[in-house]
Amino acid sequence: MTLGNFCEHNMIVNIIRVILITGFTLGMMSSLTAFKYHTQKVLQLFGGYLIWTGVSTGIIIYFAGFFTFTRCMFFTISVPAIALAYCMDCNSPAQSVFNYATQVLLSYILAMITILINTAAHGNTGSYFVLLCSAYTVVILLEYRYLRKPFLELTNAVQIGWGSLSLIPVLFTILILFIANFPTYYIEDPIRILYILGILIVILVVYFLVYQSILRQYRYQMLSHHKDILTLQISAMEKQTRNIHASEEKLKILRHDIRHFSNIMQTCLHDGSIEEANQLLSDLEAAVGKVEIKTYCNDSIINSVLVFYLNLAKSEGVEVQTSFIAPPADRFDSSSFSVVLANALENALNACKEE
């Protein structure tokens, strides 16, 4: 097989080639995507899309030729794939475009490199398909194994800046397609292979810089998050200290009043005034209950947040019913949870005050 005869007008071979590349590209997209639909529905949608790919490719190649198809496949194949995957994605539009356009760009380059390697090795059509399937399978497995978790964590943690970043893979994809297809197909002008390889180096450098930029933004957000946690911890300790001081003052008063309770109780018992004695005991129990520091859980920070906001709610006349079960300490970050809990309780209290 040579570069000159591989793309002869063999419609069946080219349709199979396009369907395989498209299917593997969808696999690459899926390796870095958290879908909002179940697996069966995702496979059904992808299956319908692959049918569209085969039919539209066959029609264009039959009536206009393979080279015409390569010039318009970005609009007939790539754009619908990005739109389909976006509709099933849990990320923001800009994050989805960045992910899918990057995978499309990588797929174009991988398909070009595969055909060049097969040609250099003097392979045939069968060896090309084996090499194509092997290359894409390795890329999908590597992306899923090493890139899926950090990419999903970054997209969840970093929510801004993706709009401008998504232009990078889109523009590089357009540039690659232009160089590969105009004025003729790149295999008819081997010098353009060097241009494509040069662009590949530029792409690697740009993506490395993009990664560094996203990583810096992620670290900045984490520092800000840790600052919020420390602020909450300090605030919680201050509130807990104020609660303890207030309880100590109440205990001092209570200890002083207990002598009077004792004298009055003895008098009531001596005179046989049982009802008055019971009333005194009830008053004493109520006074002791006011001094008690409520404990909702063993985590001091979470408990101080609950004590502060629930007491504040009661002082504002908001009826509160409490049932709190903290998960095991080794399964979650109590500091981060305290930030979320404080915000939720404050918002709930403000909403109740407006009723």
**What is the reported pLDDT for 56?**
92
- Profile the chain (355 residues) by mean pLDDT over runs of 10 residues: 53 88 90 85 89 91 84 86 79 82 89 85 87 94 90 77 84 88 76 84 89 80 73 68 66 65 67 68 64 68 78 82 75 72 82 82
Question: In this structure, which amino acid lies at residue 83?
Answer: A
**What is the reported pLDDT for 84?**
81
**What is the reported pLDDT for 3?**
47
Radius of gyration of the chain (CA): 34
Which residues, including other chains, have CB under 8 Å from residue 37's CB and lie 6 or more apart?
A: 45, 88
Which residue is associated with the tokens 């499309």?
Answer: 104
Sequence-ordered alpha helix ranges (H) in 34-190: 39-64, 66-73, 79-87, 93-120, 125-142, 148-157, 162-181
C-beta separation of 168 from 210 below 8 A: yes
Which residue is associated with the tokens 């494509």?
Answer: 196
Which residues, including other chains, have CB under 8 Å from residue 122's CB and lie 6 or more apart?
A: 1
Angle at which helices 191-271 and 334-354 pack, to 10 degrees?
70
Dihedral sign from CA coordinates of 120, 123, 126, 127: negative
Which residues, including other chains, have CB under 8 Å from residue 165's CB and lie 6 or more apart?
A: 94, 98, 210, 214
3-state secondary structure of 184: coil
Q: How many CB atoms lie within 10 A of CB 238?
A: 12
**What is the reported pLDDT for 265?**
64
**What is the reported pLDDT for 152?**
83
Q: How does DSSP assign 78-104, residue by residue?
A: IHHHHHHHHHTBSS-HHHHHHHHHHHH
Question: 221 is written with which tokens?
Answer: 């957000």
**What is the reported pLDDT for 2?**
46
**What is the reported pLDDT for 81?**
82
**What is the reported pLDDT for 295?**
73
Helix (H) or strand (E) holding 255: helix 191-271
Measure the CA–CA gap between 189 and 71, rounded to whole angstroms: 16
**Diameter over CA atoms, the chain:** 119
**What is the reported pLDDT for 19?**
92
35 phi/psi in degrees, rounded to 5: -80, 150
